[in-house]
Amino acid sequence: MDRLGRNVKGMVDFICDMEKRGIHFRSLTDNIDTTTPAGRFFFHVMTSLAQMERELIVERTRAGLEAARKRGRVGGKKLLMTPSKVESAKNLLKNGLPPREVAENLGVSIPTLYRWCPASDRT
């Protein structure tokens, strides 16, 4: 059920829209049938639980990332261009070395080189 919508309102709107078109929801694994009042009630309860579970996962993830940051951990890929490499690249480019050779010497791709040393900075 949590795959159908991200929150209770979205799920209820989805089911109401389906019912207007004559389509009823029946979950085979949870034994929910929205054609009955008890089934609609159970659907709302299960939808609320799914939303709560999703929000708890988001909350725990954010808390874990914050705790990691406090311990000095930084997420993401390590940068290939260090400040010294950027400075070297700028000097090599100013001295007339072609960008392809500069990128090869520094062990980065040409797009990475251009991202850190745009052509507009070299004029």
Pair 105, 81: CB distance under 8 Å: no
Average pLDDT over all residues of the chain: 88
CA–CA separation, 73 and 75 (whole Å): 7
- Name the packing angle between helices 99-106 and 83-94 (round to 10°): 150
Q: Would you kindly state where each structural domain of the chain is located, as residue ranges?
A: 8-70, 83-122
What does the pLDDT look like over 48-103, one tens digit per residue?
888 898 899 999 999 999 999 999 998 888 888 999 999 999 999 999 999 999 99
pLDDT confidence of residue 2:
60
Pair 37, 46: CB distance under 8 Å: no
pLDDT confidence of residue 122:
63
pLDDT confidence of residue 49:
87
Structure tokens, 54:
């999703």
- More confident position, 3 or 91: 91
% of the chain at pLDDT higher than 70: 93
What does the pLDDT look like over 13-52, one tens digit per residue?
888 888 899 998 888 887 788 888 988 888 888 888 888 9
Task: Please say if the pLDDT value at position 109 is more than 90.
Answer: yes
